[in-house]
Chains A and B, each alone.
Chain A
């Protein structure tokens, strides 16, 4: 009888524990390191960057006690769903496919993507006929991959890589004619703004269509954690409203990646 009671009690405790989505102020935030200047490690081993500052600021406003968890991009959504952490704050763009799996906050920034080629090459990206048969390198499974697949699938020869460094190598070697890369990542990998860089940006920066590039980057939560998401939504609106966001942004960027307040 005692045993039965104990078992029942244990059962009750376990059901309440799982039924309640969250009941502490402890929040573990997952981030894929490095992604300069959003997040990187200092030589001393500390995490720094725009998203780290922003994340800490948001947590402060939402009265939450946050810790950072490093997680590589490949497994970042499965890790959230298997409760290795409670939220993702890692420049994750909102897409319909991802919305099937996770709950997004309101977006907090959006970056454009750019076409990159070697400095000694002359390619007119707006002339589709001239692009026929050229090869482009993208990171596998990213929204840039979706964009070139959808827009240039019949024109360009698409090569999919695991890292953007491999793309840079194959641009130098001549295996690739073009790369289509996220703006900040391109600055970091291709250094196309430097005078002695081997690469250059061609054409306009691209943010549209929204159906591919999404509404911007947002935090991601498990679908049941609606309350937690709402706390962060309010915090995002707050940092926009009082200018803290812009101050943080100017500290790290020389271009504008803010999004109109509170629009989803």
Chain B
């Protein structure tokens, strides 16, 4: 450990920008980015499953509100949604006196809400498409076994829809990671926030942003690898026999 420390100090000596101090900013930034993206993806996923089923419902009063929600959140830039939720809600009369203010006061939760609603909308559409693409034969076979709609959904449609949605969902995860770069506009010190801070302090755009781009690349690589692994496991039955 001591050796590592000495090596590290030597590596950084004579370097005006990447001091232990600024690296600390990047490390904190990495923490906030991962926390923000991970939480919004998990909550978004949990929301998206029932919403995707509702989106495919035959009843108009269930189907249309969900469609309206996904349409609005996919049809407007995430940055605008973030501005509205962070700066906009402040001007609702009396919001400071409600329990909501405890959540909205901090910059983290408005960003989490915006990111969650946005990714939930996209994920809903991805799952909805996957559910719609279920082969007719599977459904007919399930009916022939006398399965109820709920049982059919649970045993036949959802498992195969999840598998089909996997590659598209992997893309959504990566998009979400990259979209999180806008969190710094509402004062969150995420990775991009740290880079902007270093840039503004040292006027060294290349150093500050190339470094942060490399960190994003590593994160993206980890996500890619995870989804490749999942696809290999879950979609094994689709592979050519001698492939």
Contacts and interface: CB of A to CB of B under 8 A. Distances in A.
Contacts of A253: none
B90 A141 contact: no
Interface string A131-158: 0000001001110011000000000000
Q: From A140, A141, A162, A175, name the one whose CB has the most chain B CB atoms within 10 angstroms.
A: A175
Contacts of B90: 169-170, 172-173, 175
B203 A77 contact: yes
Interface in B88-110: 90, 96, 101, 105, 107
Contact of A140 (B96, B196, B202): B196
Contacts of A172: 90
A174 interface: yes
Nearest to B200: A141
A82 to B, nearest CB: 11
B196 A166 contact: no
Contact of A100 (B16, B105, B107): B16
Contacts of A159: 107, 187
A191 interface: no
A97 B187 contact: no
Interface string B171-193: 00000000000000101010001
A145 B199 CA distance: 13
B71 interface: no
A146 B201 contact: yes
A78 interface: yes
A189 interface: no
A160 B193 contact: yes
B205 interface: yes
Nearest to A97: B202
A174 B105 contact: yes
A194 interface: no
B38 interface: no
A246 to B, nearest CB: 33
Contact of A166 (B87, B96, B200, B205): B87
How large, as a class, is the contact surface on chain A? Answer: 20 to 34
Given A160-B187, A160-B193, A175-B105, A169 B87 contact: yes
B18 interface: no
B224 to A, nearest CB: 32
Interface string A76-91: 0110000000000000
Given A140-B196, A169-B90, A97 B201 contact: yes
B69 interface: no
A216 to B, nearest CB: 19
Given A173-B90, A173-B96, A161 B200 contact: no
A9 B197 CA distance: 46
A100 B50 CA distance: 57
A56 interface: no
A247 interface: no
A98 interface: yes
A74 interface: yes
B196 to A, nearest CB: 6
A258 interface: no
A161 B187 contact: yes
Interface string B151-180: 000000000000000000000000000000
Contacts of A74: 200
25 contacts: A77-B203, A78-B203, A78-B205, A97-B201, A97-B202, A100-B16, A101-B203, A137-B187, A140-B196, A140-B197, A140-B200, A141-B196, A141-B197, A141-B200, A145-B201, A159-B107, A159-B187, A160-B197, A169-B87, A169-B90, A173-B90, A174-B96, A174-B101, A174-B105, A175-B107
Nearest first, the 4 closest Cβ-Cβ pairs linking A and B are: A141-B200, A173-B90, A159-B187, A77-B203
Interface of A: 74, 77-78, 97-98, 100-101, 137, 140-142, 145-146, 159-162, 166, 169-170, 172-175
